[in-house]
Amino acid sequence: MNQSDQIEHDFSPFIRVYKNGRVERLLGVSSVPASVDPQTGVESKDVVISPETGLSARLYLPKLSDTLQKIPTLVYYHGGGFCIESAFSPTYHRYLNSLVAEANIVAVSVEYRLAPEHRLPIAYDDSWAALQWVASYASGGGPEAWLTDHADFDRLIVSGDSAGANIAHNLAMRAGREGVGHGVKINGAILIHPYFWGSQPVGMEVSFRKEGKPDLWTYLCPSTTGLDDPLVNPVADGAPDLSGLGCTRVLVCVAENDFLKERGWIYYRALESSGWKGTLEMYAVEEEGHVFHLFKPTCENAGLMLKRLAAFFNK
């Protein structure tokens, strides 16, 4: 057996890494082109944000009756454990089409670089660069007319699911420390089934960790201090105070059968008691599992969740 066949690290169902360095992604590898969605009329197109790094994004615009209408602006970060999936995958393309149509927003779905070829914190750096690129349009310049003509930067929302929700939280924290720039502030953050972790298992994590699965986080982020690194455990001892979160509204979403549910509740309660001055909301769905809305987009709970997110955008 040669090295191309020898597995060095098995992080199923996400990735396998072979001894010769080859990375095999087990999910989220397909892509679909930007288009006009026939069901919703939402139009999408792809843009390169940084030719140097390859950072790119897919922009979405709903059908608008007013050619100069300003609408809420979403910067979205896909999930996938920092190592699989894409802003261009069928799963996220379908979801963003639905969300943009329901909420009547302009959206930027970010294609950050994936680990382990690009180890963390590169995904955070890419995501921050994309947010700053979007904010740069607040001055009215730039080649992307969808942002220049329609983005309402007083209603700028960052969001993501799972690892993407982790990214959204960390960007809001960074915005609180540094500011986004260009006179822009993050209005809100929507954290959908956020991927937070910790050295001490809670809830359903106990049985999950008994299975003896290798730790993906420390492999993807070799510079980490461990499972209580504030990047992955925002409530750990010594983590930056959540009162510094740089947005004015937060919606946390959890699902009853998600093994990360407890982490979402812990985060919610910690933010609630931190002294942060914003408005905090929780949306808890019964019976469903982790990112169910992506895997079962036509189910009743997914439809209700879509409406709940749309209401958050349009408050």
Q: Which positions are catalytic?
A: 162, 258, 290
**Residue 8 near residue 18 (C-beta atoms within 8 A):** yes
What are the backbone angles phi and psi of residue 51, rounded to the nearest 5°? Answer: -60, -30
The two tokens of residue 82 are: 């920092």
Q: What is the DSSP letter of 49?
A: E
Overall size of the chain counted in residues? 315
**Residue 195 near residue 166 (C-beta atoms within 8 A):** yes
Burial of 307: CB neighbours in 10 Å, binned 0-12, 13-18, 19+: exposed
Strands 7-11 and 279-285: unpaired
Closest C-alpha to 111, from 151, 145, 78: 78
